[in-house]
Each structure stands twice: as C-alpha cells, then as structure tokens.
A and B are shown apart, each in its own frame.
Chain A
C-alpha cells in the first residue's frame, strides 16, 4: 500500500499524451494487480473448499465453477449452493442470496465516491462486478482516486484465483493435508490486519471505529440470542453501527479529504 503511483506526477509534453495515457494505464493496472495478489492467494483455499463441498453434495465441477465465476461472493454462494443441494425453492434461494449480498450496496456506494470522475457508465458496471469484501477494502484504502485500470488489475487476480480454486477443489475432491489447510485459513485475516492496522496508528477516530466494529461483531457472534444472523447480515449491521458511531462523534476524521 505504500507504493506511490509514479505516473501521476509525470509532466510530459502534450504530443506525448497518448503514450503517456498508455503508460499510466499499464502502471495502474500492474499496481492494482500487485495489490490483488494476496487476495487471490487467500481466495484459493476458500474457493477450493467451496468446489469440494459443491461436488461432494452432487453438483458437477463445471457448475460449481460456473457459480464461482458468475457470483464471485463467498457467503452468498455458499448459502445459495447449500439451498440448491437441499432442494429449496427458487424463491428461497434467490431471497437468501440477496439478503446476504445486501452489504455490497454500502460498499458500492462508498467506492462510487472514490472512483475517478472520467469513468464511463460501462466501465462502472464492469468494475461493479468485481466488488468483494476484500477488493473493496483494498481499493477504498488507496490514497488516490481509483482509476479504471487500477481497479481492473485489482479484480483480475482474485477472480482467476476464485474460479481456479473452485475448479481444483471440484476436480480433486480430496483434502489438502489438514495442517496446511488449517494454516492457510488465516491468510485473508492476516491481510485484513495488514490493511487496517497502519491507518489506526495515525487516526484515533479510525481506531475507535474499528474497535466498535470488532466489539459489536464479537457480541453478535457470541451471544446466543443473535445466533440466527448469517455472516453477511452480521457484517452489514456491524458496519452500519460502527459508521454511525464514527459519523456522529468524529464527523471530520483526519482521513477524510
């Protein structure tokens, strides 16, 4: 996250501008791609497990992969696929998946504020497809505006990783050594910590918002009364509470431009 986009400050004469645009596209794409690699790595064991479960449950490997490539969401497609396997009605499958995915409304809304203004509608609708919890947070914590090429680069790796992991899990259908599988389980969380800790050192308001989020999330997880909440709903509720807290008590946090 510390790498600066050097292309930003290049002052090339006007007649070079086409080449310059090209260079900037490639640079932004490569930077995004680099930022996406740990996400891709973290997705492989999760999507592997998804492929495994789906095929064990009776779906062909290509259908499992198709689900991953068209849904690109962990909690939503796990739940939806479970319901397919359980023979649930189409309405129930659709509704449950929608509820779990509602949190993307907030993320898309937040990210839309950071996109470079010159993006076309088609480009926006393309990028929207690649918003996940992980790609969103990485993009949202970028210091500069989000360009089309940066976001595209960021999405490509995780998308390929998510699809490949599912296919492998579906085909292999035998477990990785359990110890390695366990150890890989921490990948995404370690990445989350690497993302969230540095800004909390610089801003007290961010630190408190993260603390509130962690606290409320733990309460919702551990209190038996809230057991009925799915992971997707939990994230949505916690996000709303923690952000209301931040906006009410620290409306002018130092991280805001």
Chain B
C-alpha cells in the first residue's frame, strides 16, 4: 500500500506542475503579438480536438451519437445555455437508443 500511495503522490505532483509553473513564472503579460495570437486560439483548438472525432464514440453507437451531435449543434447554433444543450443531447440519445433497440 505504501508503494501505491507513493505512486499516487507522484502522479499528483506531475499533474500539478504543468498547471502551476506558468502561473508562477509568467506573471507578466506576454508581449509578442504572434505568441499572444497563438495563445488566444488555444481554447478553440482544444475544444475542436477534444470533441472531434471523440463525440462519435461517446454513446456506444455512431447513429445515436450523430443524433446527439445534431441536437447539440442545432441548440448551440441558437445559443442556448450549456446546461440546456447538454441535457437535451443526453435525452435525444436516450430516446433514440430506446426506440432503436
């Protein structure tokens, strides 16, 4: 058990370091326009990378995932809240799978 806890501690350490080091050492705003621009695109790139193509495998079958994806796209296009979009997509997948199976 001691070895496992040591492993957990090391995992926690290497999970925290990449998060905290930039916060400590980069307290000044970055001046380079290129790097500023680069960093400003990070959240959008991360979102795109996390969502596609992973969403297609999120529900166990591609058909229901496509249904959920379409519902989410439609509601997001009309700028509904995060909660609304999330819950409606889950319901759509659930109902679709209920009738498809």
Main secondary structure of the interface of A (DSSP, over half): helix
User: Among B34, B38, B43, B89, which residue has its beta carbon within 8 angstroms of that of A187?
Assistant: B89
The answer to whether B8 touches A238, judged by C-beta atoms less than 8 angstroms apart, is: no
> Which stretch in A11-19, A20-28, A166-174, A188-196 binds the other chain?
A188-196
Residues of A218-238 whose CB lies within 8 A of B: 218, 221-222, 231, 234-235, 238
In the complex where A105-B18, A186-B58, A247-B37 touch, is A210 in contact with B86 (Cβ < 8 A)? no
User: Among B3, B6, B42, B54, which residue has its beta carbon within 8 angstroms of that of A110?
Assistant: B42
A101 to B12, CA, bound (A): 10
User: Among A141, A191, A210, which residue has its beta carbon within 8 angstroms of that of B48?
Assistant: A210
The answer to whether A84 touches B4, judged by C-beta atoms less than 8 angstroms apart, is: yes
The answer to whether A189 touches B54, judged by C-beta atoms less than 8 angstroms apart, is: yes
The answer to whether B12 touches A217, judged by C-beta atoms less than 8 angstroms apart, is: no
User: Among A70, A235, A246, which residue has its beta carbon within 8 angstroms of that of B46?
Assistant: A235
CB distance from A117 to the nearest CB of B (A): 8
Chain A 34-70 interface 0/1 with B at a Cβ cutoff of 8 Å (1 = within): 0101100110000000000000000100010011001
In the complex where A186-B59, A191-B82 touch, is A101 in contact with B18 (Cβ < 8 A)? yes
- A127 interface residue per 8 A CB criterion: yes
User: How many A-B contacts are there with CB distance less than 8 Å?
Assistant: 305
User: Which A residues lie within 8 Å of B19 (CB)?
Assistant: 101, 104, 107-108, 128-129, 131
A132 to B5, CA, bound (A): 23
Q: Which of B50, B58, B59, B84 has the most CB of A within 10 A?
A: B50
Q: Interface residue count for B (Cβ, 8 Å)?
A: 80
A94 to B11, CA, bound (A): 6
User: Which A residues lie within 8 Å of B6 (CB)?
Assistant: 90
User: Which B residues lie within 8 Å of A137 (CB)?
Assistant: 43, 46-47
User: Which A residues lie within 8 Å of B11 (CB)?
Assistant: 67, 70-71, 76-77, 80, 93-94, 97
Q: Chain A: interface residue count, which band?
A: 35 or more
User: Which A residues lie within 8 Å of B34 (CB)?
Assistant: 247, 251
The answer to whether A192 touches B38, judged by C-beta atoms less than 8 angstroms apart, is: no
The answer to whether B52 touches A217, judged by C-beta atoms less than 8 angstroms apart, is: yes
Partner-A contacts on B (CB < 8 A):
3-24, 26-27, 29-30, 33-55, 58-61, 64-65, 68-69, 71-73, 75-77, 79-86, 88-91, 93-94, 97-98, 101
* A–B Cβ pairs within 8 angstroms, 10 of them: A73-B15, A109-B22, A128-B23, A183-B93, A194-B85, A206-B44, A213-B52, A221-B54, A222-B53, A231-B54
The 4 closest A-B pairs by CB, nearest first: A213-B48, A190-B89, A214-B52, A140-B43
Given contacts A98-B17, A198-B76, 9 further A-B contacts (CB under 8 A): A63-B8, A84-B8, A183-B64, A190-B90, A214-B52, A218-B53, A238-B49, A243-B39, A246-B37
